[in-house]
């Protein structure tokens, strides 16, 4: 089959690789019909090479048709249409029973002390082959796949794999009061969808903040207030407070993460990790503060006293310094974590079958054949051609 594989920093290629096969009695094989390019894939493209091997298959936002099932699979059958969550969870352990599928005890990666395994996302999360490919082996075939109806286009459902539950959880964790206010930092796929979900769930004021004109315009078309960080400069906090009765918003969602613009020192540290031998780079990532924290620090500055900061953007350093004095003084609540996909399916799925209130059918800015994935990664990383969400057809 053809699959998008990692070969080094900013070097991904579509290669011919062996087809996946059933390994366990509850595995299924899915023929991928649509698969997404995620902002966190750029972390693999740019800074997390120490935890990858040449030939690793990337991607964690797939959907398609069940092709083959193991002997113990009864929940799906060949021909069923399914979306595959990005986190690999058994559905029955202590954590899964509590809606914490991202912490699944069956698939936790104990070697690295991390949570549930993820498709296509480094040794830190199990080094499981990903979904930017023609076929995908999926474990836990009776509990992990999300069955979706035939008929509507893939765009209605593919975002159930990651974008929708990640944004839904970001908004849920933000605890925005009815009619309240939220500022969303970063209008990439997660930030854009977080704005839409916050408005859908009853936020009175939704403020989208970014640097990219096309992304700001896209949010404005959905009725959001927008602020250009470059135009506002050091007056960003004042501009936000003008829209929120002078206090700041009830909540801020950081949808940016480790690739935020900011500290040159942290940016240099990220660059250094890509030049070191893997063992040294991995140790640095695990033990050093290597993130550009400007987005998170901005969130802490913007939010009103007693408010909530919800972090959905991925950070990579284990020892990043936080302004704890300010956080304590402002009496903030901070919530974060990988999305627990299955926790939110029942809330989201009706919005995909009865109308399209979140605008998923036209959410993608680019639909490309998988063979063009290397160029798409570069385009997305450089924020060119108005790229917000890219979907591939294998």
d(CA 311, CA 12): 28
pLDDT at 291 over 90: no
What's the pLDDT score for residue 321?
Answer: 73
| pLDDT tens-digit map of 150-167 | 999 999 999 999 999 999
Name the helix (H) or strand (E) containing 199: helix 189-200
What's the pLDDT score for residue 138?
Answer: 98
For the segment 36-44, the average pLDDT, to the nearest whole number, is 91
d(CA 269, CA 214): 30
Shortest CA distance to 49 belongs to which of 100, 128, 122?
Answer: 122
DSSP readout, 67-122? EEE-TT--S--TT-EEE--SB---SSSHHHHTT-GGG-TTT-BTTTTB-S-BBT-T
What's the pLDDT score for residue 266?
Answer: 45
pLDDT at 34 over 80: yes
| pLDDT tens-digit map of 181-218 | 999 999 999 999 999 999 999 999 999 999 999 999 99
Mean pLDDT, the chain, integer: 91
| pLDDT tens-digit map of 303-351 | 999 999 999 977 665 556 778 888 888 999 999 999 999 999 999 999 9
For the segment 357-367, the average pLDDT, to the nearest whole number, is 97
For the segment 351-365, the average pLDDT, to the nearest whole number, is 94
Lowest average pLDDT, out of 44-48, 79-83, 115-119, goes to 44-48
| pLDDT tens-digit map of 240-280 | 999 999 999 999 999 987 654 444 444 444 454 454 455 54
What's the pLDDT score for residue 46?
Answer: 82
* Cβ count within 10 A of residue 130: 26
What's the pLDDT score for residue 320?
Answer: 63
Residue 223: left if φ>0, alpha if ψ -120 to 50, beta else—which one? left
What's the pLDDT score for residue 327?
Answer: 86
d(CA 14, CA 180): 46
């Amino acid at each position: 089959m053809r699959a998008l594989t990692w070969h080094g920093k900013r070097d991904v290629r579509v290669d011919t690789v062996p087809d996946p096969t059933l390994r366990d009695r509850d595995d299924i094989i899915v023929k991928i019909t649509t698969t997404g390019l995620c902002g966190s894939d750029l972390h693999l493209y740019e800074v997390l090479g120490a935890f990858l091997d040449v030939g690793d298959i990337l991607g964690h936002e797939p959907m398609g048709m069940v092709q083959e099932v193991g002997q113990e699979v009864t929940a799906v059958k060949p021909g069923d249409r399914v979306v595959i969550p990005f986190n690999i969870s058994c559905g029955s352990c202590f954590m899964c029973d509590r809606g914490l599928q991202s912490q699944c005890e069956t698939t936790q990666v104990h070697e690295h002390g991390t949570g549930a395994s993820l498709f296509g996302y480094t040794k830190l999360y199990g080094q499981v082959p990903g979904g930017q490919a023609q076929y995908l082996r999926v474990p836990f075939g009776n509990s992990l796949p999300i069955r979706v109806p035939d008929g509507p286009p893939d765009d209605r459902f593919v975002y159930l794999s990651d974008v929708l539950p990640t944004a839904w959880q970001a908004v849920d964790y933000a605890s925005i009061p009815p009619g309240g206010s939220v500022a969303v930092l970063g209008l990439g796929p997660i930030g854009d969808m977080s704005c839409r979900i916050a408005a859908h769930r009853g936020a009175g004021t939704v403020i989208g903040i970014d640097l990219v004109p096309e992304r700001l315009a896209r949010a404005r078309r959905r009725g959001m207030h927008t602020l250009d960080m470059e135009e506002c400069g050091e007056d960003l906090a004042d501009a936000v407070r003008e829209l929120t009765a002078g206090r700041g918003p009830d909540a801020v969602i950081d949808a940016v993460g480790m690739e935020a613009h900011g500290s040159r020192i942290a940016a240099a540290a990220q660059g250094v990790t890509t030049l070191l031998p893997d063992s040294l780079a991995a140790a640095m990532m695990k033990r050093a503060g290597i993130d550009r924290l400007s987005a998170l620090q901005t969130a802490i500055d913007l939010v009103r006293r007693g408010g909530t900061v919800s972090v959905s953007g991925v950070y990579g350093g284990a020892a990043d310094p936080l302004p704890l004095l300010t956080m304590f003084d402002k009496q903030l609540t901070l919530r974060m974590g990988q999305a627990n996909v299955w926790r939110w399916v029942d809330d989201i799925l009706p919005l995909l079958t009865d109308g399209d209130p979140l605008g998923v059918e036209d959410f993608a800015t680019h639909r490309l054949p998988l063979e063009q994935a290397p160029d798409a990664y570069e385009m997305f990383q450089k924020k060119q051609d108005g790229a917000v969400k890219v979907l591939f057809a294998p």
